[in-house]
Structure 1
Amino acid sequence: MKLEPLLFLILAGLPMACHAGDDAASVQREAVTRFLEAETRSLEGRVTIEISEAGLPGERRPCAAPEAFLAAGRRAWGRITVGLRCRSPLWTLYIPARIRVESDYLSAARPLGAGATITEADIRIEHGDIAAQPQGTLTRREQAVGRALRIAVSGGIALRTDQLQPVYAIARGQKVRVLSRGSNFEVSNEGEALAAAVEGQTVQVRLTSGKVVQGIARAAGIVEIPR
């Protein structure tokens, strides 16, 4: 069951009597806070936003409506740097912040060997800041139980997706159906997959005619040719 996120805000060094709008730093702080609240709204667990007061220059950079942003490819997770830009006058600055997400995650209850299939007894539920854990840390039992390990795992460490063997939608040499769809048509061909692929991965297929095409692996032995 999905948990509604609980949001906490920490402002290091902020005087208790300070109110948003009192000075330029308050305006900047409010812009960063609103932005991070929106970015973390869909996260599960208790979310805490920490903004570094040292990164707020205050009256040295006045602006009526500063805009917060993250660099391309970054997300509001763990230790980050939030950009803040002003259109008039024109300036950009960068403010350190940290997003903590307290929630349950999975760890290995004991050392597990490469190739082992994970059972309920192999899993321990931990609680803590999953944003401080490695990327891909698993949070639900069904993500791990029944899956085989690609590498050996020491007891007590967080279980991650990259430790698990992939679940292939298509196996190498498998007979597949190749679909090419348009707005008013669908063409189907038979072929043989030239490599294994997980769902959503690109795979090459040799058609019965001998022609090699490339498409996207889907469930039930289907390879979809993009339009």
Structure 2
Amino acid sequence: MRQSFLPLLLALALCTGIAPAAEPITPPEAIRAAAVAAVGGDLATTEAAVDPNLRMATCSATLQAVPTSARIVRVRCPDQPGWQLYVPVQVRDIEKVLVVTQPVQAGETITADMLAMRRRDMAGAGSGFADPAALVGQTAQRSLAPGAAPTREDMSEGPLLRRGDPVVLVSKAGGIEVRVAGRALGRAAPGGAISVENLQSRRIIRGRVVGAGIVEVMR
């Protein structure tokens, strides 16, 4: 994994801080440790791509490290003239979670025979499932490839409404409820917003899915 970061690391280094061969250097491990600490990680769970052959000039002050994005940390020597280096980082969060063992299409209901427990890096992926009872019976909101770990954002607890599906459009005002036939113009899970065509007036109305095939007009 570390090797894949090295071209990027070398491209991001400011060459003015590279020490001649005979001069002392800042240990690459010290640069790596500073980058890891900046993202609140530790050396066991965080990968910081620092070339072990890198020769940055020795630094008399404490290295300063600040994240500039979710995957990049700027490590700086505050000496004069000093130097700075942009280090790619990757935080790992290895968990035992449920994965699907076969392709799953959007709108398909998850069954127990689709699932297996595997170790996956869930860093930045969302909240996975460790209990089959919490996942079985839910509906996939998007397609999942074999081996993918479904997250709570991928699932809904009811059937997925898809473009072209017939719906009942419900409008409530002043204690009066009106129901008309409609047609879904997009895809939405229960609780999600969707555009619906009123088949009686041909108007396009924005609503929220409140039940199986039922969309309540949003006001």
Q: TM-score, normalised by structure 2?
A: 0.49
Q: Greater Rg, structure 1 or structure 2? A: 2
Q: TM-score, normalised by structure 1?
A: 0.48
